[in-house]
Structure 1
Amino acid sequence: MTAAMIAAMVRHVRSRRAWERADVIQFIVVVLPFYVVLVVVAAGLVYAMLITENWPWLAATSGFTAAMLLWFFWPEREAK
């Protein structure tokens, strides 16, 4: 799942403009660790909610996460 998210993020950035050296450094230093932490925290929350069988919070967290990922990775329409 993480590899698919990273691949989608790379396609998202690549579609806007060509990669430059500063973009690659920023991606490695800022963006990649942020998403690694996000995935680990989300996995920990889901695991904790599954253990405690807290289904309403699990549903709310999963729905919010899915909505956030769809909003971020949804392809932008080009102006004609």
Structure 2
Amino acid sequence: MKQLITALLLTTAATAAFAGPKSLLNAGSGETADGRAFDKIVVSCSGTSDKKEIISFEGSRKWCLNDESYCSSKMRAAKKACKQ
């Protein structure tokens, strides 16, 4: 029984460690309260049904997490969003 529980815990941990983007869907655009225009993408992550969002501000080629704590290429930002 202990071996089964250990195996299940390791499988769960491995799934979370390799969580990555499954699909990227355009979610439109908008404007922040201070007037900055942005585009938004909804990221579906493997291993979970939760959706994450990444944004890109007008005039920037970088994509950021919603809280702007991390900005990079579209795929790197999507991967980082899935690992949160």
Task: Report the TM-score when normalising by structure 2.
Answer: 0.28
The structure carrying a bigger strand percent of its residues is 2
Structure number with higher relative contact order (C-alpha < 8 Å, ≥ 6 residues apart): 1
Task: Report the TM-score when normalising by structure 1.
Answer: 0.29
